[in-house]
Amino acid sequence: MMSNDISNLRKFVSPEIIFGVGARKSVANYARTFGARKVLVVSDPGVVAAGWLDEICNLLSEADIEYTTFTDVSPNPRANEVMNGAQVYQEAQCNVIVAIGGGSPMDCAKGIGIVSANGKHILDYEGIDTIHLPIPPLIFIPTTAGTSADVSQFAIISDPIEKIKISIVSKAVVPDVSLIDPETTITMDPFLSACTGIDALVHAIEAFVSTGSGPLTDMHALDAMRLINENIVTLVANPHDIKTREQIMLGSMKAGLAFSNAILGAVHAMSHSLGGYLDLPHGLCNAMLLEHVIDFNYKEAHERFKVVAETLGIDTRGLNTAQIQSRLMNTVITLKKDVGLTQKMAESGVHISDIPILSDHALLDPCILTNPRKSNKRDVAAVYEEAL
């Protein structure tokens, strides 16, 4: 007999993906496919300095595609930057958006697309499925291996006035095409490689233990953990090894496909709150919280965490649950140390007096909804205190 229960149904969204060295070079073909009259190319000062913006603009020029650029984007993209970008888009009469950069230009570009199609202020679209009109075609070229904004249905925007980060979750912001080219990540410094790599690992772990996980996301999450764990230390030590970059880029992409569809958990809810409040690098926020959230969640998802431990190379034979938990936490701490991310929250400017407001904001983040263990303000505050 067929069950009437549809709670086990799972939707999986993904852009069209072109993966591999040289993928960025098909940007003009895709712009043309979407009928580009004029392209808004969104980037940021770091990517401009690295030379990637010029290259993409030249590729568009060579194909006789008109474009205008917008590069006024902060490391945690701000609401006012999105609104400025949307104004540039409209005044230049663009009809396609290309973003080249890390999570910040990509999230900003998503915001520009939302506002240019739907009017209103970007902060009005906070939450899940709040976007009603289709947004312009998005062609994304990630230059970091970590945030996966190029494959996800998330856009994270900072509100510097309220000191919060808002999450926008919608199928509308899944890019149309993601050109994932490991060559573009060669210009990342080791700190950024470490931050974004650990961010991707957190995506994979949180997606795997999320209450929204399922067979379509699990395979990507497990593969991502394996790829990142086996390659991240080598990458930070040898930034110019293109083979390692490719493996990390693949791991990051798979982690993105997993979390975009299974959503995340308390690490991201707390890290969005922290990053919005103190304007810290997102990957660093995740790194500072990771083992503390694993500790908090462990007993609610110990079977899943055992699989995480095994995927990260831990031999669990003959170990009890507490021993596996301790091994997993040590493995995570060691991995962070090996890539140079040893900062604690206190060193990054967090005070114990900040914790109540950080906890309030974390509990409002959509990522908390799929955390395996239900949490109240006291729980979240306790985890923040441990991470200090």
pLDDT score of 235 more than 50: yes
How far is Cα 29 from Cα 260, in angstroms, rounded to an integer? 26
pLDDT score of 232 more than 60: yes
How far is Cα 266 from Cα 371, in angstroms, rounded to an integer? 6
Q: 316: helix, coil or strand?
A: coil
Mean pLDDT of 224-253: 95
- Whether pTM exceeds 0.85: yes
Instruction: Specify the pLDDT at position 305.
Output: 98
pLDDT in tens, 118-162: 999 999 999 999 999 999 999 999 999 988 999 999 999 999 999
Mean pLDDT of 174-195: 95
Query: Same domain, yes or no, for 181 and 195?
Result: no
Mean per-residue pLDDT of the chain: 95
Query: Same domain, yes or no, for 147 and 198?
Result: no
Q: How confident is the model at residue 251 (pLDDT cuts 50, 70, 90)?
A: very high
Query: Same domain, yes or no, for 160 and 220?
Result: no
Query: Same domain, yes or no, for 252 and 350?
Result: yes
How far is Cα 19 from Cα 157, in angstroms, rounded to an integer? 27
End-of-domain residue from the set 185, 216, 237: 185
pLDDT in tens, 278-325: 999 999 999 999 999 999 999 999 999 999 999 999 999 999 999 999
Query: Same domain, yes or no, for 205 and 151?
Result: no
Query: Same domain, yes or no, for 241 and 306?
Result: yes
Q: How confident is the model at residue 7 (pLDDT cuts 50, 70, 90)?
A: low
How far is Cα 216 from Cα 226, in angstroms, rounded to an integer? 17
- What is the DSSP code string of 101-138? ESHHHHHHHHHHHHHHHH-S-GGGG-EES---SPPPPE
Total domains present in the chain: 2
pLDDT score of 8 more than 80: no
Query: Same domain, yes or no, for 181 and 229?
Result: no
For residue 73, what are its two tokens? 């984007």
Instruction: Specify the pLDDT at position 3.
Output: 45
CATH number at residue 113: 3.40.50.1970
pLDDT score of 6 more than 80: no
Q: At 1, which amino acid appears? A: M
pLDDT score of 209 more than 50: yes
The residue to which tokens 């239900």 are assigned: 374
Q: How confident is the model at residue 4 (pLDDT cuts 50, 70, 90)?
A: very low
Q: Note whether residue 3 is domain-resident.
A: no
Sign of CA dihedral 279, 281, 284, 289: positive
